[in-house]
Amino acid sequence: MASNGDARATLEYSKNQTDVLLNDVGYDLLEECRQAVTIAGIDRDAPVLDVATGSGRMASVLSEFGHVVYSGDISCDAFLKVRDRLGGLVDRRMAFVLLDAAEMPFLDESFRAIVCANALHEMREPKAVLSEMIRLCSRNGRLIVTDFNDKGFEMMAQVHLQTHGREHSRGSITADEISHNLSLHFADVQHHSLALNHLWIASGKVTNADTGIVHSTCFACGDRNPQGLGLGFRPIGKHRVSTECALGEEYQGYPGIVQGGIVSTLLDSAMTNCLFSDGIEAMTVRLYVRFSEPVLVSRKLTVSACLIRQRGRFYELKAWIMQDNKQKASAEGKFLADRGKRG
């Protein structure tokens, strides 16, 4: 709970029409921001990046909890409204940063705490924004994301009809996709259900730096390629890795079927990352792919790989794709390790 001093500071937040309408039916987004910050347990001495500050609710709560806040938004108008709404909180604990959330002007791992509240569904490129927040989060940091659950979207639809005369968009990213993207890059992802929101708290960032291998812009598995597949392979035993994903229609060849080159990319990436898990950086010198059944778009699949044998600097591996409890494709590959980068 907030201290008395925090409570006095909270009085400086001026509720907007959305707050008032939600309060009238028993909901409080400002209070849910407080719950999120309390559950997340952010270090008090850690400056916090508030991505897409919007109405300023989360920024005001972070300020009342004693944090220095870098409030980022793409709109100057948003800053003016937040300044009016937050009053003295702005001068004491906040700095405004004009930014595009999909390409933020900070160095890698610049923040120990990053928050994005009720904003991802508003983004034109939500996965690119997630990728940027992951890039900026330090190895010992926390990434906190809230976005509306079904009840939240239902209530916001009603509010928008009253205030704007139109429906409230649910956006292009789902809760499952947010969970999946975070789990690819963090060892610990906690999920909590609030009255109107999902809350994710991600910590223990995992990168290829753990093996000394830099592969961050790779189309298949790079965590800094917003146009990429974002595959996040995890060890599931000795010399073996796996990951789950679902590919959208933008990756289809024939209608409803994942294009063959993309299927091959999945298999090749699985074998490459199997070597990465052992600290081995290598290049593909031979790839033989067998297509057993069509891989379907927009359906969850699992791609796995394991090491078969090593002969000097050459490594032989196999990989396979499972979907709907069937093996859809498989591959055998031969890789040549960089002489200076063997595990």
Predicted local distance difference test score (pLDDT) of residue 225: 82
Residue 340 has pLDDT above 70, yes or no: no
Query: Taking the CB of residue 43, how many other CB atoms lie within 10 A of it?
Result: 13
Comparing 25-29, 163-167, 257-261, 299-303, which segment has the lowest mean pLDDT? Answer: 163-167
**pLDDT tens by residue, 66-83:** 899 998 888 877 777 777
Q: How many beta carbons lie within 10 A of that of residue 26, not counting itself?
A: 8
Question: What is the architecture, at CATH level 2, of domain 4-205?
Answer: 3-Layer(aba) Sandwich (3.40)
Beta bridge partners of 197: 148
Ramachandran class of 133: left when φ > 0, alpha when ψ lies in -120 to 50, beta otherwise: alpha
Give DSSP secondary structure letters for 38-50. HHHT--TTS-EEE
Task: From the options 1.10.10.10, 3.40.470.10, 3.40.190.10, 3.10.129.10, give the CATH code of 208-337.
Answer: 3.10.129.10
pLDDT tier, 214 (very low <50, low <70, confident <90, very high otherwise): low
What does DSSP say about strands 111-117 and 48-51: parallel, antiparallel, or unpaired? parallel
pLDDT exceeds 60 at position 103? yes
pTM of the model: 0.64
Q: Ranked by mean pLDDT, which of 9-23, 83-97, 168-182 comes out on top? A: 168-182
* Model confidence pLDDT, tens digit, residues 170-213: 998 999 889 877 887 788 999 999 999 999 999 988 765 454 55
pLDDT, one tens digit per residue, over 119-128 is 999 998 898 8
Instruction: Give the residue among 159, 166, 170, 195 at the shortest CA–CA distance from 24.
Output: 159
Name the most confidently modeled range: 91-105, 166-180, 236-250, 294-308.
294-308
Q: Across residues 90-98, what is the average pLDDT?
A: 76
In this prediction, residues 307-313 reach a mean pLDDT of 92
DSSP code for 220: T
Question: What whole-number distance in Å separates Cα of residue 339 and Cα of residue 341?
Answer: 6
Residue from 274, 168, 296 nearest 220 by CA: 274
In this prediction, residue 139 carries a pLDDT of: 87
Can you give the C-alpha Rg of the chain in angstroms?
Answer: 23
- Domain boundary assignment for the chain: 4-205, 208-337
Least confident window among 58-62, 250-254, 306-310: 58-62
Q: Is the pLDDT of residue 319 over 90?
A: yes
**Of residues 157 and 205, which shows the higher confidence score?**
157
Residue 78: closest CA among 58, 62, 92:
58
Sheet holding 301-311, edge to edge: 234-237, 240-245, 301-311, 314-323, 326-337, 282-291
Q: Whole-number mean pLDDT of the chain?
A: 87
